[in-house]
Amino acid sequence: MKQFYLSIIALAAMLCVNLNTKAETYQAWGAVIFPYISTPMYDSDEVITIEDNTLTLVSATWGTGTFDLTTGEGSIEMDNHQGGTSSYSGTISGSVESGVFVITLPSVMRGTTITSTLGTMPVALNIIGKYEGGTYADAQYFKKYQPTPDQSITITVNEGYETVSISHTSTTWGTFTYDAATVTANEDGTYTISAEEGNCAMPSMRTGEPVDYVSTFSGTITDGVLVADLAVPAVMGGTTLKFNPADFEEVYIAAGIETNFAEESDADAPIYNLNGVRVDSSYQGIVIKAGKKYLQK
pLDDT digits (tens, 9 = 90+) for 232-284: 999 988 999 999 999 999 998 887 644 444 444 566 677 776 656 678 888 77
pLDDT for the residue 84: 85
pLDDT digits (tens, 9 = 90+) for 52-65: 999 999 998 899 99
What whole-number distance in Å separates Cα of residue 81 and Cα of residue 263?
A: 59
pLDDT for the residue 6: 44
pLDDT for the residue 286: 66
C-alpha distances (whole Å) from 109 to each of 61, 150, 237 are 15, 33, 53
Spatial neighbors of 60 by CB under 8 A, at least 6 apart, are 43, 45
Contact 230, 243 (CB under 8 A): yes
β-strand partners of 125: none
| Sheet of strand 285-289, all strands in order from the earlier edge strand to the far edge | 278-279, 271-273, 285-289, 292-296
**To the nearest whole number, what is the mean pLDDT of the chain?**
87
Runs of H (alpha helix) within the chain: 2-20, 248-255
Q: Compute the C-alpha angle 86/88/90, nearest 5°.
A: 165
pLDDT for the residue 2: 47
Binned at pLDDT 50, 70 and 90, residue 17 comes out as very low
